[in-house]
Amino acid sequence: MIYSGIKRRAENRSYFRVNSKMEPGRRRPTTILALLADEIAVAVFVLWVLPMLGVELPIWALIGIMAGLVARGIVTCRLGSRALRKKPTSGFEDMVGSKGKVVEPLTPQGLIKVGNEIWQAESIDHSTETSGHMRGEVIVVGRKGLTLFVRWA
């Protein structure tokens, strides 16, 4: 009983919600703080922990390490931002109109490969491959359950 009350209160908080999205305006300061925290941790390690262990690094080595971390942070930030802006390409809605290759002959049902996935498919014209369709390419036009409806390309 107590656990369910705690769980309910936790679910009401925005930082516990799985589907809550961070606004683009708040993403940049958070990213900068994360990168700074990483560099501060390395600086503390190099300037405080290593000398306690008897290892001394020259200042140019610390500058080189920091420059490398900044470069890694910039590359990671740019690639991450690009990935976050990109629209997801999964789901059936994106498959309509895409081309596929016949894996098993469509007589009228068979298997096709769309992208890297094998799907059960049915030809909407209920015909088998003819001389005009020897390429074995089809275009997805619809679906019912896990069966795709296709027409010859």
Q: What is the pLDDT of residues 99-129, one digit of tens each?
A: 999 998 888 888 999 888 899 999 887 665 5
Q: Tell me what the mean pLDDT of segment 127-141 comes to.
A: 67
Query: So what's the pLDDT on residue 57?
Result: 85
Q: Assess whether pLDDT exceeds 50 at residue 52.
A: yes
Q: Tell me what the mean pLDDT of segment 93-104 comes to.
A: 85
The candidate with the shortest Cα–Cα distance to 95, out of 110, 113, 107, is 113
Residues ≥6 apart with Cβ < 8 Å to 152? 123, 125, 127, 132, 133, 137, 138, 139
How confident is residue 140, by pLDDT bands cut at 50, 70 and 90? very high
How far apart are the two ends of the chain, measured CA to CA in Å? 60
pLDDT in tens, 6-43: 444 444 444 444 444 555 556 677 777 877 888 888 88
Long-range contacts of 71-77 (CB under 8 A, 24+ apart): 73/35, 73/38, 73/39, 77/31, 77/35
Q: What does DSSP say about strands 147-152 and 117-123: parallel, antiparallel, or unpaired?
A: parallel
Query: So what's the pLDDT on residue 128?
Result: 57
Query: So what's the pLDDT on residue 20?
Result: 44
Residue ranges and CATH numbers for the domains of the chain are 2-85 (no CATH), 92-152 (2.40.50.140)
